[in-house]
Amino acid sequence: MIRTPLTPVSRKRFRLGLAALGVAAATFAAAVSVGASVSDAAGTKPAAAAAGPTASQLLAKAANCTPASNGKYATDDGEAATVQICKNGSAYTWTSDMDIDCDGVTTSHCSPSTDPWYYNDTSFHTSTGQPFTSDVTHYYVIPLPSSRFSYQSAGISPGSVAAVVYNGNVVYATFADEGPDNIIGEGSYALATALGIDPNPATGGTEGPVTFIVFPGKVPSPIESNTAIDSVGSAAATTWVGGGSTTPPPTGGGTGPIQSGYAGKCVDIAGASSANGAAVQLYDCNGTNAQSWTVGSDGTLKSLGKCMDVTAAGTANGTKVDLYDCNGTGSQKWQKSGSTLVNPQSGKCLDATGPSSANGTRLQIWTCAGATNQQWTLPS
């Protein structure tokens, strides 16, 4: 069924006071019925995410961005455009905030009384020809096609599944609604709930970071079934990261500086000390031995005769990285994934604390996010 749009006004959830200004919701283009001809009882309630890659594996893979959009998107009306849609292998990715899209079938959670921007339809429809139910189905939103980016040209069909990653959680979702052509970052009430995000359509959502990893053409059946969404999504994600296994270690042999995503900054050993526990930090690139690292075929990074090591084999965010006698343990293994370095034992990325580019900034492990403070160039 093709719908005619009523007004072009954005209905992205503007948390910064637009409700008080009385801004109305709008409707969107082309509501199309998609999915199987029969429904699934699993679509009556949110389902737990199926097995698949971890959040860290997905974020590490998503960190390598080839720009796919002709320009960037804002996360809310009136804000600067900072979000780039990226192409990464077979997937499209972006990292943004997440506001709550409560449109679709009226329920106790999603209605004009709970959502100032509520509209009783979605751009695409379920297998039974009905709008989606926001507090039931895990769904996400893509901006309307424009010169900036067209999901249609990218091969992203209605219902295409995505892995949505937030705070270490992975939930698979289906493409069910369109958003404004210049704003990005929305998901359903049920998706927010499953991710641990406040689902209140008027006051909830999160500033993020929330990472959306879209697998074009991977459509569940029935489209509204969370069980089917999980099954198709986890399979697509596993294939995308390479069979669900960890990424290969750095190629051995290179010796030289490890350059940071911050221009002119290198990975450095504080005081050029070779003592166990010497701090690994950022510092202006200077060509000294304290910044010379050898990339081992065994996944180690060696300098001054010792290995880059996660302190006390920790796995928690914020665990510091130091220099230590090479011992073959998982705390001294590093795997290159795009522009990031992942410690497989913890599933976390090498990270400049802060984030900061100042001389003396300690390096640590942190949940992979692909930000500048987690980008590294190894010697070849």
DSSP 348-374: EEEEESTT--STTPBEEEE-----GGG
| Residue 295 domain flag | yes
Question: What order of strands is seen across the sheet that includes strand 335-337?
Answer: 335-337, 340-343, 348-352, 363-366
pLDDT top residue among 30 and 108? 108
Segment 187-198 mean pLDDT: 96
Q: How confident is the model at residue 252 (pLDDT cuts 50, 70, 90)?
A: low
| Residue 352 domain flag | yes
User: What pTM, to 2 d.p., does this model score?
Assistant: 0.58
Residue span of the structural domain in which 363 resides: 255-377
Considering the domain architecture, whether residues 262 and 223 belong to the same structural domain is answered as no
Considering the domain architecture, whether residues 311 and 344 belong to the same structural domain is answered as yes
- Write down which residue in 189, 208, 241 finishes a domain: 241
Q: How confident is the model at residue 164 (pLDDT cuts 50, 70, 90)?
A: very high
Q: What is the pLDDT of residue 28?
A: 32
pLDDT top residue among 6 and 111? 111
Can you read off the two tokens belonging to residue 30?
């082309």
- Are 334 and 345 a contacting pair, CB within 8 Å? no
Q: In total, how many domains does the chain have?
A: 2
Query: What is the bridge-based pairing of β-strands 186-188 and 91-101?
Result: parallel
Considering the domain architecture, whether residues 292 and 228 belong to the same structural domain is answered as no
